[in-house]
Structure 1
């Protein structure tokens, strides 16, 4: 309203305080989004979400969205399992390709391959969380041989939602995963 933007530190403080207020007001969940190529301060939702479990104890913590197509699934598995441990099973991921122009190029990825990137990296993430000694060789990341990510999620596979505002890719990926495994 004033036309002045808060500093990054003030903005992050406001995001954390909003999460605290959401729990106090009885909300069930609070989400922090991920953006990379625009004028946003949300490139590290794991760090921002990590500030919340020391201030709140009940509310579920979500991502809105985790842009799995541009990230390394090993790092996603480790970071969010760490948050799942700290929060004692309150982390839920909302995965999607992201709606921001430019983030694929920022990470050196071909935007025309976003569907393939998302499908492969999502599949690897699920395997890393649900299996031990994962061996992996596919197109978009170096091979893995008998890898078990640490820490493991707090108590089984965290809930993963598929978010989409501009594409049918995420819902189609969720539906194909559900048909092939009987799970969401």
Structure 2
């Protein structure tokens, strides 16, 4: 199994200290988190893309480029790239550049994105967002694979023998499809034979498990080898401590702040208490053994081989958060690496086969 640390760069007052970091301070926290993730042995670091309050993640390519300069090994993920909002040509140019600068460490998770405000900002409607996402992805993947592209597009000016630079470093970059609640993202992933990444953060396991089962069905329907399926899954929170009591006490301010934010934003509340949240959500809050057991329970339903946890110290404080990540990497990850397989592809740059030597 492989492990990512992921941030959406949310910027709300800390529930314990009440301090609201400046945007510059928050970006510096993200850079430190990426370096810490590499230091502790995480396999990837992900940066989200949102275009509305309280997120500062509107320019993930810029953030990932800076992280690329500060790190050497860790793979760099988008989580997610909102292709329904973007011009696929411009997105290709930006991400191909990041891929070159990082030495082929880029992996992308794409999706239509969530949130009314960001959809309105880009004049995308609920009726056309899925079609935009599918069209943008088809153009994007062709740009990555073909030297010239002709496409009769609906949502951007048509392309005729378009050459777009720089040409790719990875051939091609690996693209995962983010899945939350809709079969349309699952269908798109299965159609193209791409890996799936389940959000797995808002609800209990079953709705996500149903979509993953559907993905496997559609994968085979499209004639792909079942042995090549790769599924990733998110987690709703992380706090690993020596005892469950210690973990619950440390995580309670985080849960209560998130609950208050959900109610203020008018979002549906699924878990009313911390105890219910820890029991029925994908949150990894507890002792190392409890976290191992919970990931195994989810793996039985999902069959996932990649897991993401939060990169942010929100509500825990830097010292407690680092201790949690150290326990995760020291006592949880080694067990899961032994007991759950890796994805069915190399965790390395996607490069063309070497030319045979004479």
Deviation at 1:11, TM superposition (A): 0.4
Between the two proteins, the alignment pairs up a number of residues equal to 184
Q: Secondary structure at the match of 1:110?
A: coil
- Give the match for residue 119 of structure 1: 134
Q: Taking structure 1 as reference, are residues 57 and 181 closer, same or farther at Cα in structure 2, changes over 3 Å only?
A: same
Give, in whole Å, the separation in 2 of the partners of 1:40 and 1:121: 24
Q: Do residues 133 (structure 1) and 142 (structure 2) align?
A: no
Describe the superposition over 1:12-59 as per-residue Cα deviations: whole angstroms up to 9, x where unpaired: 000011000000000000000000123210000000011012111000
Q: Secondary structure at the match of 2:164?
A: coil
Q: Which piece of structure 1 moves more, 21-30 or 110-119?
A: 110-119
| 33, 42, 64: which one aligns with 2:57 | 42
Structure number, greater radius of gyration: 2
The answer to whether the 8 Å contact 1:38/1:100 transfers is no
The answer to whether the 8 Å contact 2:142/2:149 transfers is yes
- Give the match for residue 27 of structure 1: 42
Give, in whole Å, the separation in 1 of the partners of 2:63 and 2:113: 18
The answer to whether the 8 Å contact 2:153/2:159 transfers is no
- Give the match for residue 74 of structure 1: 89
Q: Secondary structure at the match of 1:41?
A: coil
- Give the match for residue 270 of structure 2: none
| 183, 191, 194: which one aligns with 1:168 | 183
Describe the superposition over 1:62-85 as per-residue Cα deviations: whole angstroms up to 9, x where unpaired: 000000011000011000000000
Give, in whole Å, the separation in 1 of the partners of 2:163 and 2:138: 15
Gaps of 5+ in 2: 1-15, 194-221, 230-358
The answer to whether the 8 Å contact 1:105/1:111 transfers is no
The answer to whether the 8 Å contact 1:66/1:93 transfers is yes
The answer to whether the 8 Å contact 1:61/1:92 transfers is yes
After the TM superposition, list the runs of 4 or more consecutive aligned residues in structure 1 that deviate by more than 3 angstroms: 180-184
- Give the match for residue 93 of structure 1: 108
The answer to whether the 8 Å contact 1:99/1:165 transfers is no
Give, in whole Å, the separation in 1 of the partners of 2:191 and 2:68: 34
TM-score under structure 2 normalisation? Answer: 0.50
Q: Taking structure 1 as reference, are residues 181 and 130 closer, same or farther at Cα in structure 2, changes over 3 Å only?
A: farther
| 11, 30, 43: which one aligns with 1:15 | 30
- Give the match for residue 110 of structure 1: 125
- Give the match for residue 80 of structure 2: 65
Gaps of 5+ in 1: none
What's the C-alpha RMSD, in Å, of the aligned pairs? 1.7
Give, in whole Å, the separation in 1 of the partners of 2:138 and 2:93: 15
